[in-house]
Amino acid sequence: MRFDTRLVHVGQEPPAGTGDLVPPLHLASTYERDVQDPLRWFYARGENPTREGLERCLAALEDVRFASVFSSGQAAGATALAVLARQRVIVSDDVYGGTHSLMGTLADRGVEVRYEDLADPEVVAAVFADDAAAGALVWVETPTNPLLKVVDLAEVSRRAHAVGAVVLVDNTLAGPVLQQPLRHGADVTLYSTTKSVAGHLDVLGGALVHDREDLHEAFTAHRTAVGNVPGPFDCFLVHRGLKTLSLRTRCQVATTGLVVEALCGSPAVSEVRYPGLPGHPGHAVAARQMTGFGSLVSFRYRGDVDALLRRTRLFANAVSLGGVRSLAQCPAATTHRPVPPEVRARLGITDDLVRVSVGIEDPEDLLDDLERAFRTT
């Protein structure tokens, strides 16, 4: 089956006897052992049919064998760090604010955390020429959040594997329609399924996708032990959202192109950051490893950002991304507040930076909303 067919069919097989085209929602917390042949189901913290249907679908999207889902993207990340982070973690310098918080917990336990600009080829060469990278966990975001830098996944994976490092890619911003990290050499793909995968701003979830049986056993054992499992109804909602993922993504990418064009032409905007722009430093890499440039754009606003966000009517002033509704926010004041101020300043995550997540509304209405907000500056 091709990608779009997998979205609809994998993990949604009709159950025997009834033929439901939507499999039943398995809400039970425990299972009668004497009626099972073979004995497989024990307790829902460890096993749940609804959850496993979602996992089969997520694994199929990257054409691999394994996926483990969690109660949130942060829970997926925490599990990956518990299993994979030993003495050293090398992290993209521009990452989601919650990732900074996760890394802080590692540093408190004595794990060395090194932030590096993995979008810079010279930095990448230097990082993996150093013996200190041997055996490390390499945590990559691309495009990065919120500056939308682009990391060459094939090059980072090649150099990392040469020194025995493991590569995890947080693919939340791009999503599986636009980018599949495992095809470019990464070992594990992480998703906050809360975002574009579910797509409707109504559920939390996370996932780790890969093709290594040893990691599958380790991730699921850790999940069962600590209990950061998603409930069956949450899994149902994420799986339902997956069915329209390609349709939503294509719509959002097309509309984002129009939004970027409008932003580039506005005198109220001093800079636009979007991998689809030919002048973007990572444009060529993004064009090679992605099938589209995404539905997020960041820009620097010349006026009062708080006032701008109050004036928009369709772009909700809210965090998150990838959903059906358009959102706008100031990362320095919200998602990236956990990042130390001096680090934000060095990276350029300043008070004039606005990050926009484009939804599926009519493009003309979104453009009108932006024009109205800028005009009343």
> Which amino acids are annotated catalytic?
45, 96, 170, 195
User: Which residues partner with 115 through β-bridges?
Assistant: 91
- Cβ distance 229 to 223 under 8 Å? yes
Q: Distance between CA 61 and CA 72 in Å, rounded?
A: 19
Tokens in use for 194? 């809360």
Q: What share of the chain is helix, strand, coil (3-state, %, to 5)?
A: 40, 15, 45
Tokens in use for 38? 């073979």
- Cβ distance 308 to 354 under 8 Å? yes
Distance between start and end Cα atoms, the chain: 51
Name the nearest CA neighbour of 127 among 100, 93, 170.
Answer: 93
Name the nearest CA neighbour of 45 among 71, 23, 19.
Answer: 71
343 Cβ contact partners less than 8 Å away, ≥ 6 residues apart: 115
User: Which residues partner with 269 through β-bridges?
Assistant: 301
Beta strands in the chain (DSSP E): 66-70, 88-92, 112-116, 137-141, 166-170, 188-191, 206-210, 269-273, 296-301, 316-317, 327-329, 353-357
Residue 164 Ramachandran class (φ > 0 left, ψ -120 to 50 alpha, else beta): left
Quick one: DSSP state of residue 29? S
Quick one: DSSP state of residue 363? H
Residue type at 6 in one-letter notation: R
- Cβ distance 95 to 139 under 8 Å? yes
Sign of CA dihedral 263, 264, 266, 272: positive
